[in-house]
């Protein structure tokens, strides 16, 4: 067992399916790390395929059993997750390694021979401690974080200035993660001058050309766990953008191309008993020569049984008074049964604007401000996924062409329609509470 990682895994956790082919291939790469053939290894796999349990939790313990003086540092996106991994590793280590009684905290525990295991989250300090093996497991917790320039820089600084400098001569680094963004930690490394030092094992959920496992294109990575039908369901829920990153390990840029015209069928009407909302993205800049500001956009969206209809779009660029008149006109046509949501600007000015609309512009209507959080493209992903699945339709009207033109444009010059659709979808889909059913469906040309 000291020489064979696979046999050891079967011994310490016999109930797990360690024979799955993608785990077997991953072990081949880990064996090359063990013998020193690979010094820098990236492993990209989809979520819930066993990569962390084998690579992050158990591989360091096996190495410590073989080399009890080995020093290991485990990094994760925060200290809590790092401690969770460390606690699992320590529990297994107690069954096969003599551990020190003097240092056994979950953040830092040692073997009786002087080796040890240090767990740290992104940004956590590790001054004064070196390691012959560094394992980094999913340093990013979300797509929003992965696309945040501030977090990208923080993670990069932590890796280059704190973690990497702890590596002992001839030591190895394993970065195991699900890809989120072109600029996540793996993307930054692969775009750097040190990219050639790294060996990359990328295992997409559905095989592509030159698959490392020899799968036929489209064949699932682990059909015992996620067969083709299960992956198709996941793709439908996530949409192609998120699926390409999280499951195919091919993150794509967020700018442009998020929607396609062919996703939107045009129909004559929406069901009269569907529930509906009106969502507004209010612009604050009037058009002037040489400027092309965003529009104020109001989307009326209805939902029934997992299908969605964009019933109407109202859009203008004008003075604050003209915008208020348009909002009031739409509310009157929609009826009191249609809640009105307005994207709320940050700070007191946003609070004051919503209060003004509730008291003076739309008295008697259900009006709520909604603070927008995260990148616009990320907020639009649930709506994009529903549209890509063929579950979003446009009610025929004179606004259809302008709607499709902006939503599908690659340049992203204007985003008011996308933002109002995102807000409407988040409300009418039930993700943020169920609005009251609409009584009347009004369609304007």
Q: Are 160 and 197 in contact (CB under 8 A)?
A: no
DSSP state of 72: E
Q: How many whole angstroms separate alpha carbon 38 and alpha carbon 274? A: 59
Identify the pLDDT of residue 288: 55
Domain range for 149 is: 5-246
Instruction: Tell me whether residue 168 is in a domain.
Output: yes
For 198, phi then psi, to 5°, come to: -100, 140
Instruction: Indicate the DSSP class of residue 196.
Output: G
**N- to C-terminal Cα distance for the chain?**
74
Q: Flag whether pLDDT at 432 surpasses 60.
A: no
Q: Are residues 56 and 143 in the same domain?
A: yes
Model confidence at 242, pLDDT cuts 50, 70, 90, reads confident
Tell me the DSSP string of 2-20: -S-HHHHHHHH-TTS-TT-
405-425: average pLDDT: 81
3-class DSSP state for residue 278? strand
What's the CA gap between 188 and 9, in Å, rounded?
A: 33
Last residue of a domain, one of 246, 273, 290: 246
Half-sphere exposure of 226 (CA within 13 A, CB side): 21
- Which CATH number does the domain housing residue 372 bear? 3.30.420.240
Give a yes or no: residue 392 inside a domain: yes
**367 vs 361: CA distance, rounded Å:** 10
Quick one: 228 and 267 in the same domain? no
Question: In which band, very low, low, confident or very high, does the pLDDT at 340 lie, cut at 50, 70 and 90?
Answer: very high
Nearest alpha-carbon partner for 366 in 293, 256, 279: 279
Shared domain check, 223 and 320: no
- What's the rounded Cα separation, in Å, for the pair 385 and 375? 16
- The pLDDT tens digits of the residues spanning 283-335 come to 866 655 555 567 899 999 999 999 999 999 999 888 899 999 999 999 999 99
Tell me the pLDDT band of 405, cut-offs 50, 70 and 90: confident
pLDDT tens digit sequence for 82-127: 999 999 999 999 999 999 998 889 999 999 999 999 999 998 888 7
Report yes or no on 251 lying in a domain: no
pLDDT classification of 433: cutoffs 50, 70, 90: very low
Average pLDDT over the chain, rounded to an integer:
89
Residue 184 lies in a domain: yes
Considering the domain boundaries, does residue 84 fall inside one?
yes
The 10s digit of each residue's pLDDT in 22-62 is 999 999 999 999 999 999 999 999 999 999 999 999 999 99
Q: How many CB atoms lie within 10 A of CB 226?
A: 21
pLDDT at 145: 82
Is residue 443's pLDDT more than 50?
Answer: no
The mean pLDDT value for 207-218 works out to 94
Q: Give the pLDDT band of residue 215 (cuts 50, 70, 90).
A: very high
431: pLDDT confidence band, cut at 50, 70 and 90? low
In this prediction, residue 285 carries a pLDDT of 60
Return the exposure string of 385-401: e unless at least 16 CB atoms fall within 10 Å of the residue's CB, then b: bbbbeebbbbbebebbe
Q: How confident is the model at residue 413 (pLDDT cuts 50, 70, 90)?
A: low
Same domain, 213 and 328: no
Q: What is the CATH number of the domain that holds 168?
A: 3.40.50
For the chain, how many structural domains are there in total? 2
Q: Six-digit token pair at 408? A: 């599908």
| DSSP single-letter state for residue 346 | S
Alpha-carbon gap, residue 434 to 262, rounded angstroms:
29
pLDDT digits (tens, 9 = 90+) for 140-174: 888 778 778 888 899 999 999 999 999 999 999 99
Residue 166 counted as domain residue: yes
Instruction: For residue 105, count other CB atoms closer than 10 A to its CB.
Output: 11
Same domain, 41 and 100: yes
Q: Does the pLDDT of residue 438 top 60, yes or no? A: no
């Amino acid at each position: 067992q000291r020489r064979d990682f696979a046999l050891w895994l079967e011994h310490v956790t016999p109930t797990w399916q360690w024979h799955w082919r993608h785990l077997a291939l991953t072990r081949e790469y880990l064996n090359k790390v063990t013998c020193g053939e690979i010094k820098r290894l990236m492993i990209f796999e989809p979520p819930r395929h066993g990569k962390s349990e084998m690579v992050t939790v158990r591989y360091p313990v096996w190495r410590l059993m073989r080399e009890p003086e080995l020093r290991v540092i485990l990094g994760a996106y925060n200290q809590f997750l790092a401690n969770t991994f460390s606690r699992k590793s320590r529990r297994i280590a107690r069954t096969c390694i003599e551990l020190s009684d003097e240092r056994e905290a979950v953040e830092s525990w040692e073997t009786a021979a002087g080796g040890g295991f240090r767990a740290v989250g992104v940004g956590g300090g590790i001054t004064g401690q070196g390691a012959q093996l560094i394992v980094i497991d999913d340093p990013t917790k979300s797509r929003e974080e992965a696309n945040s320039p501030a977090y990208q820089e923080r993670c990069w600084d932590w890796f280059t200035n704190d973690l990497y400098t702890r590596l002992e001569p001839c030591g190895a680094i394993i970065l195991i993660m699900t890809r989120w963004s072109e600029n996540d930690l793996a993307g930054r490394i692969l775009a750097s001058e040190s990219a050639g030092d790294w060996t990359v094992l990328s295992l997409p959920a559905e095989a592509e050309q030159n698959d490392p496992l020899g799968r036929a294109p489209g064949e699932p990575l682990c059909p015992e766990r996620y067969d083709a039908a299960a992956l198709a369901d996941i793709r439908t829920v996530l949409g192609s953008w998120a699926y390409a990153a999280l499951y195919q390990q091919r993150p794509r840029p967020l700018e442009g191309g998020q929607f396609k015209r062919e996703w939107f069928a045009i129909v004559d009407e929406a069901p009269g008993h569907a529930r509906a909302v009106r969502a507004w993205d209010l612009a604050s800049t009037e058009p002037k020569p040489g400027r092309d500001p965003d529009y104020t956009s109001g989307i009326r969206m209805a939902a029934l049984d997992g299908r969605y209809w964009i019933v109407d779009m109202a859009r203008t660029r004008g003075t604050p008074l003209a915008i208020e008149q348009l909002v009031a006109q739409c509310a009157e046509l929609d009826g009191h049964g249609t809640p009105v949501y307005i994207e709320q600007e940050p700070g007191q000015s946003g609070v004051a604007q919503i209060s003004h609309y509730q008291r003076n512009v739309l008295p008697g209507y259900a009006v709520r401000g909604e603070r927008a959080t995260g990148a616009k493209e990320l907020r639009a992903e649930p709506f994009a996924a529903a549209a890509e699945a063929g579950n979003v339709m446009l009610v025929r009207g004179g606004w259809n062409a302008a709607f499709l033109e902006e939503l599908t444009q690659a340049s992203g010059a204007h985003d008011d329609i996308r933002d109002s659709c995102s807000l409407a979808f988040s409300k009418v889909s039930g993700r943020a509470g169920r609005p009251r059913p609409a009584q009347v469906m009004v369609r304007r040309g």
